[in-house]
Structure formats: C-alpha cells, structure tokens
Chain A
C-alpha cells in the first residue's frame, strides 16, 4: 500500500499547466515559412538547445512526466508494509552475567522475535553469544557504545546489577533507544520495575512501578551515571512523586485522576446514612484532590456502588468496588467481603464520621482510586513485570525512524534515478523536425 508523507505537495501538480499553456501558445506562435531554398540555413545551423521548443508534443509529454516525478519526490511516496507485522527491527540485549534470574528476558526476547525483531545477545551462556562481558571488560557504557556501532540496533536493552562499579563513565550518546533496568531494588515504596531513556528526549526517564501499575515521566535534573538505590516519596502537596537516585532528585508529576463516580442506592430509612457517606467521601476526596460525582443509578462509568438498601437488586454494569451498609457491632469500620466488596460495619452518624475514624478508613480507598490512573506509556518501551510476562496488549515498537527512513530512502533513490533518465531523454530529444 502506497503512503505519502507530505500530501500538501500534490498541489504542485498545478505547475503542469505551465508547459501545457506554453505548448499551446507556441504552437500558435511558431510560424512556418516557405523558403526557396534551405541551403544557407543548413550551412549555419548548429546544435541548439532551445527551451522554447515546447510546441512539440512528445517533448511536452516528457516534461509533464518530469514534473510528475518531481512532485512524487516532494510528497515522499513510499510503500508501507501491510503484512501486519512490525518493521524489521533490531533489538540488542546486553545482559550482565550477574544480573540474576534472566528467564524473563528470554521470554521477552522470544516475544520480540515473533514480531520479526532481530534480537542480538551479548552475554555468555546465551545463544549466539559474542563478546561476553567479564569483570575485566570495559565499562558498561563503552560496551553499549561498541554494540551500537557494531549492530544496526534500533533499541538497546541493558540489564545489569545495581552495583556502581558496573556503570563507570557517562552514558554515551547512541542512536538507538536505550533502556536499562536495575535489579535488586530495595526499600522502594513504589517498587520500580524498569526505567529507561527515551530516544526522542534524552532528558526524560520513564519509570514503571509494580504497585501502581503506572508509568511516570520523570524530568531529569542531574544525570547520575551510577544508579544507586532509588528512593521515592510523595511530595507534600501530593502532586508529585519524588525520586531520589544517588545524589540526584527527580520529581514525577502525577497524572490528574479521573472523577470518582459513585452510585448510592438508598431508601427512605437510609437516606440520612447515604447523605453522611456522601459528605465523608467528599471531604476525603477534596483533601486528596479527587473529583467526585454521585449518581443515582449504576452505569458503566460507575466506580463505586454503595448500597444502603440491600433489598434493591443491582443493575447490571461494571463496578470496581461495592460498598454495603450493614451496621452491626464491630470494632472495625470496614470488612472485606470479597475481591471488590466492602461492608460498612459501624453505624454512620455525624459523630462517627468526624471523630470515629471513618474518614481515616475511607482514605486509602480514595488514594487507591487516585493512583490507579496510569499515564500514557511511551510507545518506545515495552512494559514488563517481574514475572517476565508482557502485558496483554503488546506495544509495538513503531518509532524506529531509521528503519522507516532507510526504506523510504531506497524508494527515493529509484525515483531519483528515474528523474535522471527523464532529464537525459529530454536533453537528447531530436532538435530538428523530420
């Protein structure tokens, strides 16, 4: 299937009207003069190059074809692979022998190979191993640079232990998208799974957290080539996650949560309790800066269903969490009755809400709702978890401009050669009639 990058240049085809108009005009203008003899004209006639000889229709056709080819080059016509497979890409995996359990990466690589990605391994003990890394080897960054020079990699994935001495020197500037992963994470509240550099903006780091299943974009400050322990914490205003890596600190802006939609089902007897629940949620959500909306019926957009009338049959629909009001004698406010079911065990009164700890009990659930919203992951990276399983929806590595550009470049070369041929034909066209 043919694709074009710059469709606006199709308007340049209007320029084809110019040689046509000149052709028609010169056909009218060029006179034929009957002479008694052509001997003197023939004596002095020399090979002439006349750009105005456009009254010849074959020459007109050649020049129109020439303009067409120029326009095709401008619109950047190329053929797109419609086989459904991704572009033939090269991924480079550098796995340090001490990286620990690397089975997940084997699965990762197998997945890539299924997607027609060439995977190059650089570690001992793995298939097609070349240039194994040893302690006497050059520093990791130099190896990365060498690998980038040796292989036509579109992305380089490096898995190495979280030890400083393996990361000597500064990360080189390389063509490919570099992702690096730390193992042996310790004491991280967010349990970072992987982090990497984007190839579009080297000032950004992406962090994927296990607990929150989110990907955060981090604005780099000082880049520290020695990844030590990473510590994270929420900022005071809860708008950021602060990441400390060695001497560097990064602020991860948290994405704005969606509106928490709650469907409360009440009856005449429980109307007051429903109202109090609503006020409690609003108070906590306001503090955590989570928008809340209450609706009367359960819909597909409902996040929580709160049943104050247990006799009411639930409407079908998706719910993330169901609250059921069944006050009784209980020490705890909430009891988990199922994967997504909570039972409110104490009586909802104004005093209980304000002083009885219901707000504190409510807080983690609103936080959970807030931090479950994931930012849009960057398309250059694949998400993996510690089990080595890829997400259900694979992210196709599509932004490898070099490969696409190489392909488009080959087609441009052919068009360029064709253009050269037409120009040559136009110059060599016979100069005399008959």
Chain B
C-alpha cells in the first residue's frame, strides 16, 4: 500500500490502527524517519562514521550498503558496521510517562505521539551507528533500559507496552552514565509540573557536556481552547473538573498559553538546551528535520 493511500489527509500522518501493535509502531517510526531524512540535503545526511567501531545486528530498514557482506558470508547472519565516532554517542530518550500525557487530539494522545517520535529518533540514531537507551518517568516507577547494542527489540517492546500514570516525580535518580561517551538526552514531555521539578531535572542533565533536547508536546485545541462552548475539563493527573463556557474565556486563555510557551522556550534556551515545540496532531517531521540539522551543526 502506498503512503498516499495510507494517509487520508496531510494531518493524518498516522493510522490509529497501526498503534495497536508493536510492528505498527515500528512501521510508523520508520516511515517518519524516512520522511524526515528525505527532506534533508543529501550532503548533510547523517551516515556512518569513518572509523569502524563495532558490529550490530541488522534491523529491517537499515541501509544495505552498511551490511558487512563478508561477515555474512562467514556467519550467514546480517550485521551492520558502526563507526567509532558515532558509536560514542548515546541517545537517551526520557519520556514523560505522567498521566497528563493522556491528553488526546484527533485520536492520538501525547503519549502515543511521544512513542512514535522517540521510535523514529532511535531509528535515525541506529542508522548512523549510535546506540539508544530509554527512560520512562513518572512518580510510580522509573523504567530504564540503557543503550546497549542488540537490545533494540527489548527497548522497543518496553516502549510499546509502557503506560502513563501519576505525575512527574520531584526527584529522579538516573543510572550512572559511562564516561567517554557523548550523551544526548532527548526529553519528550508536555512540561506540566507542580513545583519546577521538570526544570530542575533538565538543569541536572546539562553539565558534563551532555546535550539536552526538549520536545515540548502541545495540542492545537489545547493551545487555542477550540472546544464546544460548554465543556467540562478534567485534570488528567488530579481528576479535578471545571465546567466552563470556552467562548467567553478563549481569548484570555490563548494569550496566557502563548505567554507560557514563550517563557518555556526562553527558559530552555537559557539553559543552553535545545527546544522544539511539537503541535499535535500535526506530524513532527519538520521539528525532527530541524533537530537533525542542529545535530549536524552541533
């Protein structure tokens, strides 16, 4: 089936049915990654490094030119070469697994959006021979799978099965990071916090030459309050409800939200982290391209 047939509208860049299975998630991630990479200039495409570092198992979709055919001839197994420079970069996906990520627009929740986004990023990372780890964070538990070659399937399985609950914890203890590696922390979150706990966490990641990228997920209706006039809003984390006439408060609401987003952007940039605003339910392809361009520059 062609991509055009799969996506009925430009905004409908995913099929909700595809999110019902692990393979579907992988498929969506790969499609998004290919779409992202196809928009970049060929000279700036990220590829393998110059110095061989190690082999890793072939994953469907990997560039066949990177397959070591000689090794295949010897072992009857497909392996992909990884460069030394790139293999020293570890990508940590830190996904906000709090209950506020249940917010949904156009049949996709922020949580599902975050999964697809991170899965696409890991696909791109592996393309260039990097490893990736994943951390799923809420106050109930912190699930962590460190970057490890060969454990990609396990990470994808964890990502697929994870659920949201609770709130962002006030303190988080991440496992000790290995020296000698460049770490890229990709934080995918809605930045809803109670007492600046997210801000503290971001600042804690910044020292030691780590790179922090924040993908801020917000829905279009959430930003514009584009709901029916009489709506009951329920807080996903506290369960509290408010009934309001959205028509009467829309203008003031939009002003406050715009001000907040600007404040978030300024704050993150002020910490020398990277900031990308992903507006649901639009595809994050543009934000991903910008992110990748920044990686090349950086």
Q: Could you tell me which A residues sit within 8 Å of B by CB distance?
A: 26, 29-38, 40-46, 48, 50, 52-53, 431-434
Contact = CB atoms under 8 A, between A and B. Distances in A.
The listed residue with most B CB atoms (<10 A of its CB), out of A33, A36, A42, is A36
Interface stretch (B22-30, B33-41, B224-232): B224-232
A41 B242 contact: yes
B-side binding surface: helix, strand, loop or mixed? mixed
A430 to B, nearest CB: 10
B103 A35 contact: yes
A42 B243 CA distance: 10
A50 B241 CA distance: 17
Interface string B215-248: 0000000100101101111111100111111001
Nearest to A55: B230
B153 interface: no
Contacts of A48: 244-245, 248
A432 B242 contact: yes
A16 to B, nearest CB: 22
The listed residue with most B CB atoms (<10 A of its CB), out of A32, A37, A38, is A37
A175 B25 CA distance: 93
Contact of B245 (A32, A37, A50): A50
B233 A36 contact: no
B190 interface: yes
A40 B235 CA distance: 12
Contacts of A43: 252-253, 256
Contacts of A434: 240-241
B236 A31 contact: no
B249 A38 contact: no
14 contacts: A32-B232, A32-B234, A36-B190, A36-B192, A37-B190, A38-B240, A40-B256, A41-B242, A41-B244, A41-B249, A44-B253, A45-B244, A432-B241, A432-B243
Nearest to A37: B192
A30 B249 contact: no
A38 B256 contact: no
B283 interface: no
Nearest to B260: A40
Nearest to B255: A44
Nearest to B109: A34
B230 A26 contact: yes
A169 to B, nearest CB: 70
Given A34-B103, A34-B104, A433-B242, A40 B230 contact: no
Contacts of B228: 29-31
Contacts of A30: 228, 230-232, 243
B256 A45 contact: no
B100 interface: yes
A44 B249 contact: yes
A35 B253 contact: no
Contacts of A35: 100, 103, 222, 233-236
B243 A33 contact: no
A203 B99 CA distance: 87
